[in-house]
């Protein structure tokens, strides 16, 4: 599926200047944060080596946690695979904090462009050239981010619903965004100007660091482009999906129990800490994003006010549902799915965002009163 989208982009690449970029290519630093997964890290590094880019203009920086023997044992192997034409460095931090590792790598990097990666993605060979084409065309683009999708995308039933709702939503589209993904190419100077990653929103990762950074970049007046036509492969799914598949085959009761457990964990996460990390996002969000989330909170209030007049409540609900589907379709979301999903998924996503807004408010109130 990813290759199909790539072929659809061939003509546009010429327009954006990939083929016309001069031989004086910018230096690119690839910062990887590993965590005790040597085999996945090896696959990630191999994909970096296969980038369609001059190796003499690349450096790889691995920032590992202290005592990560998986990286230590693989050091010779990594250096051998990289060879002499590419700079390869290993740095160390004393805590397992992903954002701190990335920030150390970013500050230690020498590149004009910086790619930030976890240790479980397979980078597409055209990633750097695609990002560079956007940077050349628009000086206000500070970051180009790409969705990371499961390796078995052809079998949709194996992909968790949250991934279908979020990561697969933008396949085949190119849009401005307020969030960066786990595969992002930055202009290093702009990234350092806005302050790089927050290091206090973990540990070691929450669901909001990428959202907070993307919002901060946008509010500063720069742009984040998300290119869903060049998806990256998320290798972590190699470890996750077999278990999910076996649960599906055990019967609906087991799957239902797992689903209810996930809902409970999601609710508790906002009551415990995620309310705070979302607050940090809202503090740096552009006005359009704040207005959007104010709207999510307003919808249930309006429905409650209209509860005595069912006709108007039904009209409002129908209008909100129709608007969410129309907006989604106009932006080209969920084009990787069939018509049914293109109608249903925007409504589910809207419901999740309304729920998240109220969980954030509840978490804020509960913790404020403590």
Asked whether residue 285 is domain-assigned, the answer is yes
Q: Which of 187, 217, 238 lies at the terminal end of a domain, its last residue?
A: 238
Q: Which of 238, 265, 285 lies at the terminal end of a domain, its last residue?
A: 238
Residue 335 shares a structural domain with residue 302: yes
CA distance readout (Å), 315 to 149, 299, 345, 346: 37, 12, 20, 18
Residue 233 shares a structural domain with residue 313: no
**How many independent structural domains does the chain possess?**
2
Handedness of CA 169, 171, 172, 175 (dihedral sign): positive
Residue 137 shares a structural domain with residue 37: yes
Q: Is 316 helix (H, G, I), strand (E, B) or coil?
A: helix
pLDDT digits 0-9 by tens, 17-43 = 444 444 589 999 999 998 878 888 888
Residue 128 shares a structural domain with residue 274: no
Residue 52 shares a structural domain with residue 165: yes
Residue 230 shares a structural domain with residue 279: no
Q: Is 129 helix (H, G, I), strand (E, B) or coil?
A: helix
Residue 226 shares a structural domain with residue 281: no
Give the span between the Cα atoms of 182 and 232, in whole angstroms.
10
Residue 303 shares a structural domain with residue 282: yes
Q: At what angle do helices 38-49 and 69-82 cross, to 10 degrees?
A: 20
> Strands (DSSP E) along the chain, which ranges?
28-33, 58-65, 87-93, 113-118, 121-122, 141-146, 148-150, 174-176, 183-187, 223-227, 232-234
Query: What pLDDT, on the 0 to 100 scale, is given for residue 10?
Result: 38
Query: What pLDDT, on the 0 to 100 scale, is given for residue 250?
Result: 47
Query: What pLDDT, on the 0 to 100 scale, is given for residue 73?
Result: 64
Asked whether residue 245 is domain-assigned, the answer is no
Asked whether residue 191 is domain-assigned, the answer is yes
Query: What pLDDT, on the 0 to 100 scale, is given for residue 156?
Result: 64
Residue 247 has pLDDT above 50, yes or no: no
Asked whether residue 246 is domain-assigned, the answer is no
Asked if 64 and 56 count as a contact pair (C-beta separation under 8 A), the reply is no
Q: For residue 87, name the pLDDT band (cuts at 50, 70, 90).
A: confident
Please state, for a pLDDT cut of 70, what percent of the chain lies above it.
81
Domain ranges, residue 32: 2-238
Query: What pLDDT, on the 0 to 100 scale, is given for residue 359?
Result: 95
Query: What pLDDT, on the 0 to 100 scale, is given for residue 317?
Result: 94
Query: What pLDDT, on the 0 to 100 scale, is given for residue 219?
Result: 95
Residue 203 shares a structural domain with residue 265: no
Residue 194 has pLDDT above 90, yes or no: yes
Residue 25 shares a structural domain with residue 85: yes
Residue 258 shares a structural domain with residue 234: no
pLDDT digits 0-9 by tens, 271-282 = 888 999 999 999
pLDDT digits 0-9 by tens, 145-181 = 999 988 666 666 677 888 888 888 999 999 999 999 9
Asked whether residue 203 is domain-assigned, the answer is yes
Residue 192 shares a structural domain with residue 330: no
Q: Which of 194, 213, 238 lies at the terminal end of a domain, its last residue?
A: 238
Query: What pLDDT, on the 0 to 100 scale, is given for residue 79?
Result: 65
Give the span between the Cα atoms of 109 and 114, in whole angstroms.
8
161-171 in b/e form (b: 16+ CB < 10 A) is eebbbebbbbb
């Amino acid at each position: 599926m990813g290759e199909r989208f790539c072929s659809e982009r061939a003509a546009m690449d010429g327009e954006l200047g990939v083929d016309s970029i001069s031989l004086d290519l910018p230096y690119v630093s690839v910062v990887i944060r590993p965590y005790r997964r040597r085999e996945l890290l090896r696959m990630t590094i191999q994909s970096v080596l296969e980038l369609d880019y001059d190796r003499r203009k690349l450096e790889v920086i691995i920032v590992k946690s202290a005592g990560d023997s998986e990286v230590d044992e693989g050091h010779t192997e990594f250096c051998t695979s990289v060879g002499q034409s590419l700079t390869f460095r290993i740095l160390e931090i004393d805590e397992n904090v992903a954002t701190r590792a990335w920030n150390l790598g970013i500050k230690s990097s020498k590149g004009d462009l910086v790619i930030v990666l976890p240790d479980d993605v397979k980078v597409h060979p055209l990633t750097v050239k695609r990002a560079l084409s956007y940077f050349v065309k628009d000086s206000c683009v500070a970051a180009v981010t790409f969705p990371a999708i499961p390796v078995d995308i052809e079998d949709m039933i194996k992909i968790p619903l949250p991934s279908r709702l979020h990561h697969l939503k933008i396949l085949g589209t190119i849009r401005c965004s307020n969030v960066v993904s786990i595969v992002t190419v930055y202009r290093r100077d702009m990234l350092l100007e806005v302050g790089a990653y927050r290091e206090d929103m973990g540990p070691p990762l929450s669901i909001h660091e990428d959202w907070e950074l993307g919002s901060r970049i946008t509010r500063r007046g720069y742009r984040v482009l998300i290119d869903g036509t060049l998806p990256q492969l998320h290798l972590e799914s190699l470890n996750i999906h077999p278990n999910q598949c076996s649960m599906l085959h055990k019967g609906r009761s087991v799957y239902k129990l797992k689903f209810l457990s996930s809902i409970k964990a999601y609710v508790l996460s906002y009551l415990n800490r995620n309310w705070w990390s979302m607050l940090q996002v809202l503090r740096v969000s552009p006005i359009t994003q704040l207005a959007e989330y104010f709207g999510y909170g307003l919808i249930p209030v309006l429905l409650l006010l209209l509860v005595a007049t069912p006709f108007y409540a039904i009209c409002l609900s129908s209008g909100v549902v129709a608007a969410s589907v129309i907006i989604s379709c106009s932006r080209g979301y969920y084009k990787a799915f069939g018509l049914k999903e293109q109608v249903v998924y925007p409504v589910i996503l809207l419901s999740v965002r309304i729920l998240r807004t109220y969980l954030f408010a509840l978490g804020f109130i509960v913790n404020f009163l403590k």
